[in-house]
Amino acid sequence: MVIAIDGPAASGKGTLARRIAAHLGRPHLDTGLLYRAVALALLDRGLPLTDSAGAARIAEALDVATLEEDRLRSREIGEAASLVSVHPGVRGALLDLQRRFAAQPGGAVLDGRDIGTVVCPEAEVKIYVTASPEERARRRFRELAGRGEPTTFDDILADILRRDTRDSERSAAPMRPAADARHLDTTSLDADAAFARALDMLPAGV
Ligand code: C5P
pLDDT digits (tens, 9 = 90+) for 21-30: 999 999 999 9
Specify binding-site residues for ATP: 7-15
What pLDDT score does 34 carry?
97
Specify binding-site residues: 7-15
Which residue CA neighbors atom 5 of ligand 1 most closely?
A: 32
Residue 14 C-beta-side C-alpha neighbours within 13 Å: 12
What pLDDT score does 67 carry?
86
Q: Which of 29, 34, 15 is nearest to 107 (CA)?
A: 29
Share of the chain above pLDDT 90, in %: 88
Q: Taking 90 as the threshold, does the pLDDT of residue 6 lie above it?
A: yes
Q: Which atom of ligand 1 is nearest to 82's Cα?
A: 12
Q: Which of 4, 1, 34 is nearest to 16 (CA)?
A: 4
The string over 97-107, giving b where at least 16 C-beta atoms fall within 10 Å of a residue's C-beta and e elsewhere, is bbeebbeeeeb
Q: Taking 90 as the threshold, does the pLDDT of residue 70 lie above it?
A: no
pLDDT band at 64 (very low <50, low <70, confident <90, very high): confident
What pLDDT score does 1 carry?
94
ipTM of the complex: 0.98
Which of the residue ranges 65-74, 97-106, 111-120 would you say has the lowest mean pLDDT? 65-74
Mean pLDDT estimate for the chain: 95
The full DSSP string for 52-84 is HHHHHHHHHT--GGGTT-GGGGSHHHHHHHHHH
- The answer, yes or no, to whether any atom of ligand 1 lies below 6 A from the CB of 195, is no
* 33 class by beta-carbon count within 10 Å (0-12 exposed, 13-18 middle, 19+ buried): buried
pLDDT in tens, 130-185: 999 999 999 999 988 998 988 999 999 999 999 999 999 999 999 999 999 999 99
Mean per-residue pLDDT, 86-108: 96
- The answer, yes or no, to whether any atom of ligand 1 lies below 6 A from the CB of 112, is yes
Whole-prediction pTM: 0.95
All structural domains of the chain: 1-27+107-202 (3.40.50.300), 30-103 (no CATH)
- The answer, yes or no, to whether any atom of ligand 1 lies below 6 A from the CB of 49, is no
What pLDDT score does 121 carry?
98
What pLDDT score does 65 carry?
79
Tell me the best of 2, 6, 11, 31 to mutate to test the pocket of ligand 1, counting ligand atoms within 8 Å of each CB and taking the most: 31
Mean per-residue pLDDT, 38-49: 96
Share of the chain above pLDDT 70, in %: 100
